[in-house]
Structure 1
Amino acid sequence: MIGKWGGGVLAAGLLATSLAAAPAAAQDVQAKQFKVVGSWGNLTNYNNVEKPFWNKTIVDASGGKITANITPLTELGLKGFEVLRLIKLGVFDFAYGVIGYVAEDPVFEGVDLSIMAQDIDTMRKLTEVYRPVLDRAFQQKFGAKLMAMLSYPSQMIFCKPPVNSLADLKGKKLRVYSTTLSDFADAVGATGVTVAFPEVVPALEKGVVDCGITGTMPAYDAKWYEVVTTVYPLRLGWGAAFFAGNLNVWNKMDAPTRAFLEKQFAAHEDAFWKNTAADDRDGIACNTGTAPCPKGPPGKMQLVQPTAGDIELRQRIMREFIIKRWAKRCGAACVADWNATIGKAIGETASVN
């Protein structure tokens, strides 16, 4: 048993040890200044998580040795489809991006197939089990190292004309941002139109699209409520995202610096998911005014609850349409990786036949 004073001495000793270890860890870090592409500057993920991480958190943790210039896509005039090519070229050291914007290989789609994940815990689990597959693809296709798997809030359907069911989407032009969402559009008789996120509101205003799929809070942040009348909260999955770095830049760092960054990036990943969970909870309230919006004045979209028939139809579309189409695009080796990871986690088996 530790005596009254012994416990205090031991605690003090442990505290002193931990305090001594922290500067030593920072002392071992190489001095680096990174060029970073953030996500969209009007989203809470950028303002609450990405920007503070690079401007303060990692600077403080490294004793000022790690600094960065982070700029959101919106300020760079980028649409988001280009970030991995820019990483490969060495224009930027690190970048945030949306998995659905990576069209070069169907293997990337595997983590975010339409409808597959219906809650955030499942979504995170799927990103974790599929992460080795994605990291290998990032390295082979783009010379990039996958640092963190992230997600935007759950994806729902927002329409300028009133809609009351999936049947009402037939013949409509539906904004999508990935091949798997285009597959969903085909399944319900809509026409999928790929539109970059910053261009959706003008596209809705001009009639280029009638409806759009996006996350709950991103729709509010981008002011979709100014043109959209209806939100149909039939969850079509989540918005899988990534944080990646140039592989050559990463490999040139020494082991202590990489270890330090990996620890910081893991905490950063947790913060991103926590922010996404909060955004998902608040997003519907902010778009519709059905509950208080913590971010500001709410929109006035009509909230139309999904029918039981549409909920059942959604699952049939996933099994009979989404997974089958993707498997044919991806091929046998890709499908085998998916079945051993995500398929096993959700109890589904994909087949190229």
Structure 2
Amino acid sequence: MPNRILIATAGLCLLAFAPAHAETITLRVLGQPSGSGLIAQQKEKPFFESLAEKTGLDIKVEYLPVDVAGIPDTDGLRILKGGLFDIVSIRGPQVSRDEPSVLGLDLVGLNTSYEAGRKNIDAFMPYVAGRIESQFNGKLLGVWPAGPQVIFCKPEIKGLADLSGHKVRVGDQSAANFVAKLGATGISMPFGEVQQSLARGVVDCAITGPASANSGGWPEATTTVLPIALQLAVNGYAINSVSWAKFTPEQQEKLAAAIGELTTDIWAFSEELYEDAMRCNAGETPCERGKPYSLTTAAVTDADLKTVAAAVGEVSLPIWATQCNAVAPDCESAWRAAVGAQLGL
């Protein structure tokens, strides 16, 4: 009898120290607005829906666009910090009020091409990642551009000077400051409200990428597009730090690598979309991914190009630096060391 007791006790001890079966990790993903364009529809959503298969991780992904969730896209970083969603597709311009350093990736006049954008964004991204980690309990996994932000207007315009006196929907404070310098009034509003606001005259013009404008039906309510790139509309993916800690280092590496591949893919796709959407909006061919419209494309003058280029030093950087330094005293100095040095500022 005693031997049986010893054997039974030993068995219980072995069971107690046996590794438990790992539970499936559920990742709730807050995505880009459902109507914001093909990047969300053809890249982001399919990626997250197939993430388990792609990475081989024992995960269940629940993907929900921010507008379907009924959450303001300006609250992305707060949602990340609170852990309501594990991964947030951050809309950079919209969340910059909560974390001004994000705007330093894409000041008006800074990223006037994809090539310039890659260089400037890579330089300042480590600082922004540090701020998101310390202030919002999140890990930044990658960033990508929605595409060059251009100007769509209901009244016919021929250049930036014609914006004077008009109400312009803007994506962030840097753009608001820029149009104010031109004599216009910058108005912030969710993407989904812009088309009707243009149609009703609530705003006269609005700034976004050509592909997003096409998806949102903006050409139905406008006559002219001025294709001068003000910004690239930088967005990104971040995961809540508590959610990140649920994975082993090896699993973290797989997840980070997969999202890194996604952002690389989106960079290339964004450039393709821009060219195609500009043709679609103007009724030109080939128009492969959008709906054909008949917008007038205003010619971009050298004077307007100089105005945008000068905006960094004259408007967007000075105002942004004051705002960013107010919450992070080393913000401007970090930007000047990383990006300013490249620009010779």
Structure 1-normalised TM-score? Answer: 0.86
Unaligned runs of 5+ in 2: 1-21
Which residue is 1:83 aligned to? 76
Q: 2:120 corresponds to which residue?
A: 126
**1-side partners of 2:72 and 2:201: how far apart?**
20
1:111-190 aligned within 5 A? 111-190=105-184
Shift of 1:30: 7.4
State the partner residue of 2:45: 51
- Kindly tell me: are residues 256 and 138 of structure 1, through their superposed partners in 2, closer, same or farther at Cα, counting changes over 3 Å? same
Quote the Cα distance in structure 1 between the aligned partners of 2:324 and 2:289.
41
| C-alpha distance after superposition, 1:24-74 (max 9, x if no partner) | xxxxx9742210011022311112111111112x22233362330111123
C-alpha deviation, 1:127, in angstroms? 1.8
CA contact (8 A) 2:108 2:175 kept: yes
The correspondence for 2:86, drawn from 59, 69, 93, is 93
CA distance in 1, matches of 2:278, 2:130: 36
Conserved 8 A contact 2:149-2:229: yes
Whether 2:270 is the aligned partner of 1:280: answer no
> Partner amino acid for 1:264?
A
SS of equivalent residue, structure 2 residue 144: strand
Counterpart residue type for residue 330 of structure 1 = C
CA distance in 2, matches of 1:319, 1:81: 27
Counterpart in the other structure of 1:297: 291
1:336 aligns with 2:329: no
The question of whether the paired residues in 2 share the 8 Å contact of 1:113 and 1:237 is answered with: yes
- Kindly state the Cα deviation for residue 346 of structure 1 after the two structures are TM-superposed: 2.6
Instruction: List per-residue Cα deviations over 1:101-142 (Å, max 9, x = no partner).
Output: 120232221111011111112212222211110111111221
What letter is aligned with 1:335?
Answer: E
Write the letter of the residue equivalent to 2:140. Answer: L
Greater C-alpha radius of gyration = 2
SS in 1 for 2:199: helix
1:184–1:134 Cα change, 3 Å? same
Q: CA deviation at 1:180?
A: 0.3
In structure 1, the partner of 2:14 is none
CA contact (8 A) 1:115 1:315 kept: yes
Q: Which amino acid aligns with 1:87?
A: L
Computed over aligned residues only, the root mean square deviation of the Cα atoms, in angstroms, reads 1.8
Question: Aligned pair count?
Answer: 320
2:58 is aligned with 1:61: no
Whether the 8 Å CA contact 1:79–1:198 is kept in 2: the answer is no
Structure 1 Cα separation of the partners of residues 87 and 248 of structure 2 = 17
User: d(CA) in 2 for partners of 1:298 and 1:78?
Assistant: 31
Distance 2:340 2:60 in 1: 40
Shift, 1:318, TM fit: 2.7
TM-score, structure 2 as length reference = 0.88
Deviations along 1:147-167, whole A, 9 cap, x unmatched?
A: 111110100000011111111
Give percent identity, aligned residues only: 29
Q: Please tell me whether the aligned partners of residues 67 and 73 of structure 2 are also in contact (alpha carbons under 8 angstroms).
A: no
Aligned partners of 2:80 and 2:88 also within 8 Å: yes
Whole-angstrom CA distance in 1 between matches of 2:99 and 2:56: 40
The 2-side partners of 1:203 and 1:139 are apart by 37
Superposed CA deviations along residues 231-250 of structure 1, whole A, max 9, x for unmatched, are 01111021111111111111
Deviation at 1:329, TM superposition (A): 2.1
**Structure 1: unaligned runs, 5 residues or longer:** 1-28, 349-353
Which of 32, 38, 48 is the equivalent residue of 2:25? 32
